Structure 1
Amino acid sequence: MSAMNRQSSWEAKKDNLRKFSGQVLHVVKDNEIFRYRVDDSGRILHEQLEKARGVAQRSWRKVVTGDPEKKVRDYMTEVPQVKLIDKLSFTFGVASMIIIEFLALRHPTYFTPFYYFLMSCLVGNRYFQYREENSEFFMLDFCYFMNLSVIVQTAFFPNSLMWF
């Protein structure tokens, strides 16, 4: 009797599996990718996807390290290198903050023209960077509108408390 129950139980499971006939399922386990396919008779066919694993691993390596051949573990143990452009950008930012503070506190009449000059250079540079990457729509961000608002207010409506 128990053999008969097992048989009917197995047939019920096969009927359920037949509903998934033709479906393909992917499972990742222990850094390996397996593909399971259900055929028309309800059997589960499985295969290991070594090629897919290699392609996925290479693409992830390229995203993380920039080189599809370099292991992420090796990349994480490397000493980070600061690029010259990053050093120059940091130095420019600190120097700009010092100049802005000096102008705002000691010579407030020169602050506005300096702000106009600085923002036109920075925004112009950013526009050309975005244009090169074909990403000009990033300039529709709130911070660019806010800086434009400050320039318009200080140039044309300096006494407007409502705008401020």
Structure 2
Amino acid sequence: MKITLVTVGKIKEKFFSDAIAEYTKRLSRYCKLDIIQLPDEKTPDNAGEVMERQIKDKEGERIIASIKDGSYVIALAIEGDMLDSVKLSEKIDSLGIGGTSQIAFVIGGSLGLSDAVLKRADYKLSFSRMTFPHQLMRVILLEQIYRSYRIIYGEPYHK
């Protein structure tokens, strides 16, 4: 299985980079992982609703352009389905069994995802009704993908 993370924004803190590197290494025994990091648009402090939508749309165009044809797209969105770790592992496993060879997880920028990206998504996943910084969300998502593979292969994991 090939897993791609399509993300908006740079990782600035070393501790996030270190955690991402660690989970990337751990996941290498289970899947081929690719992380696509796209630039974010600068959002002025006084940005109104129209400007925010334009920013999301620009970021969304870049996201959609970087998703490979045939990928099953899972968008991280507050309004998505909340799954526990076992259910996420079952989702990943059933996609693989069903013939899906590529899953693209999409993490938007600070304003979230454009309507076009949400429409392109095959599935919307929520980790919480709370909002998290996209850098932290990248680490959390990688940890959950790693945990999913541990569950799929019947290996021990922390509950």
Same-fold status (TM-score > 0.5): no
Higher relative contact order (CA 8 A, sep 6+): 2
Per the normalisation by structure 1, the TM-score is 0.21
The alignment's TM-score, normalised by the length of structure 2, stands at 0.22
More helix by share: 1
Q: Which has the larger radius of gyration?
A: 1
